[in-house]
Amino acid sequence: MSGAKGVALRLAPYGVAAAVSLLAVWFGLNLWGVDWRVPFYYSGDALAVASHFKTIIETGWFTHQPDLGAPYGQFYSDYPQADNLHFIAADVLRLFTSDFGVAMNVYFVIGFPLAAITALWFLRLVGVGTPLAVALGVVYSLAPYHFIKGEGHLFLAAYFVVPLAVGLIHLVATGRPLWRLRPAERADGSRERRWLRPVTGRNAATIGTVALLGTASSYYSVFVALVLAVAGLSALWRSRAWRRFFGAAAAGLLIAGVMLVNLTPSILYRLANGVNEAVLVRSPPEAELYSFKLSSLLLPVPGHRFGPFATLRQLYDTYYPLPSEEPALGLLAAAGFVALVVVAVHFLLSAGRTGRRGPGESTRTLAVLAGLALVAFLFGTVGGLSTLLSFVDFPIRSWNRIAILIALLALAAVGLLLNGLVRRVAGRMRGTTRDGGPRDTALAVPLAVLLVLLAVWDQIPPVDAEARAATVAAYDSDETFTEQVEAEVAPECLIYQLPYIAFPESPPVNGATDSDELRPFLHSETLRWSAGGIKGRAPIDEVGALASLPAPQLVDAVEDLGACGFVLDRAAYTDSGSTVVDQITAVVGPTTTFDSPDGRFTFLELPQR
């Protein structure tokens, strides 16, 4: 077999997993019939994500948007985050499209095959056979978590780095090294360059994984670092292998270092401008408010396509406390998690004894997966280890998001158990229990197909045609309205938006969110908007405070800012903004006034004096 053919055969399963995942989401969400200009999600946090994509398309990076928070601009370095991998991806996508909606949607969809590929790698690492690993990699890419996060939490939905990081944890937990120097002498007798040895081979894989993790998500970085620490301590306790322990510690420190590098712009901004105490407020009790419960993980996904399942989940989330972010594993991962709990209990009660010959490789792997899943569960559950960490003002609050690690471990358990089942059935058919053979594959392939079909039915939410039509209608209305405003006033005009809702993370006003005020900006090419400035800085707060002035003083104040008009979000007022419109009109006199096609926004022009 030629080298090229061998490489192609090794990569083929990854191509199959990516293709099947993409096809599943393409047909599951009816993506062939969507308008790709319109984000799949056009409300709440998805609007803030959309503004990031628009800012990157226009400026090359997300940290400064001069057309928001006018007249001062939006400086996002005030809001610390280390998720730069996704901003880099947006920067690449802008080479192919100037439409923020297209870029958002493409990145959301790309996350599915990427997650399938990395999950397949992890599943094969732990010993799952190729056909089942391909199928379960696809199942993982279609995790309910992916759709629950959606584009509102797009960077969390892009969890393709998680399987790579969990692979590092598994290596530590099974006593294998994370770091290894390549031999000084190559197979052909030549000598490896000394400076290359520390940064190639196993070391390069570890460094690359840690770099991706620390650049992708603060949440996943913290989750992995914590579970990695427990795995390292466990390995040290079992074998007294200090080298393995220090290897895990080095990986943990490297994760922290990469996060620190990604946070450097925010750190420098704070050093230059002072700490903004208002921008990111967290309270210790939120550690329980945003944790998960065992029942929520095991119950059907919210909005399940099977009516009784959907009703059961809705009743649970409605009447039982602490629904959190409605985490759910899906039927397959839930079954795998239950199996891991059984394995953990068995090993605890039997002290690891499974018979005279000792546990087999698959059983030992299941025990490791069970231990890791238990650790992750203890961090993520209500009243668990996360609550204890909150006592020391730990900066993480949404611990339910560790469920995506649990889902991967649970699906690995499903794969190992089904591997054993296939081997036993095939062995009886051929009179031997040895692994391998075409009969194993003949049994595993149809089983793999069934797993994917079950996941598509269970995990992909049913398409809501009415909701999608409403999203497109809202987008088109905003676009038409903004074009009308731009046609009415001069370029670079400042539009003062009412009411003022501090951005980001402020409570809704009559159902309108702080992100809703970004909607006109998303469609604007020539105007500046008062909304979207980062709260907690005096200039931004002072501009926002003008909204509470009586109409005569308000008009004078915004004119002093250079504003040439108001835009009101009528949904934020109990009387649809009629009183405010009348008061401003009484001050400025006859002026150009019009509503958006859907009646959501109103424009009032300020006559130039």
Residue 587 pLDDT grade (very low, low, confident, very high; cuts 50, 70, 90): very high
Separation CA 48–CA 490 (nearest Å): 26
Pick from 323, 362, 314: nearest CA to 339: 362
pLDDT at residue 230 tops 70? yes
End position of a domain, from candidates 384, 404, 431: 431
Residues 426 and 563 in one domain: no
Tell me the C-alpha distance between 430 and 423, whole Å.
10
Tell me, yes or no, whether 470 and 350 share the same domain: no
Mean pLDDT of 307-322: 94
pLDDT average, residue stretch 312-326: 91
What six digits make up the tokens of 74? 């939006």
User: Stretch 513-517: mean pLDDT, rounded?
Assistant: 96
Residue, of 311 and 238, whose pLDDT is higher: 311
Same domain, 492 and 577: yes
Structure confidence at residue 281 (pLDDT): 82
Residues 368 and 426 in one domain: yes
Using the 3D structure, point to which of 376, 409, 431 is the last residue of a domain. Answer: 431
Q: Are residues 325 and 399 in the same domain?
A: yes
Residue where a domain terminates, one of 380, 415, 431: 431
pLDDT at 167: 97
Contact 606, 557 (CB under 8 A): no
- Whether 360 is in a domain gets the answer yes
Domain presence at residue 190: no
What is the Cα–Cα distance from 608 to 350, expressed in whole angstroms? 84
Distance between CA atoms of residues 331 and 297, nearest Å? 10
Residue 200 has pLDDT above 80, yes or no: no
pLDDT at 559 over 80: yes
Domain check: are 481 and 413 in the same one?
no
| pTM, to two decimals | 0.93
Range of the domain at 422: 285-431
> For residue 547, what pLDDT is reported?
96
Write the CB contacts of 301 (distance below 8 Å, at least 6 apart in sequence): 144, 147, 148, 309, 313, 328, 330, 458, 459, 461
590, part of any domain: yes
φ, ψ of residue 495 in degrees (nearest 5): -105, 120
Q: Is residue 208 part of a domain?
A: no
| Within a domain: 109 | no
Q: How many domains would you assign to the chain?
A: 2
322 and 371 belong to one structural domain: yes
Shared domain for 418 and 351, answered yes or no, is yes
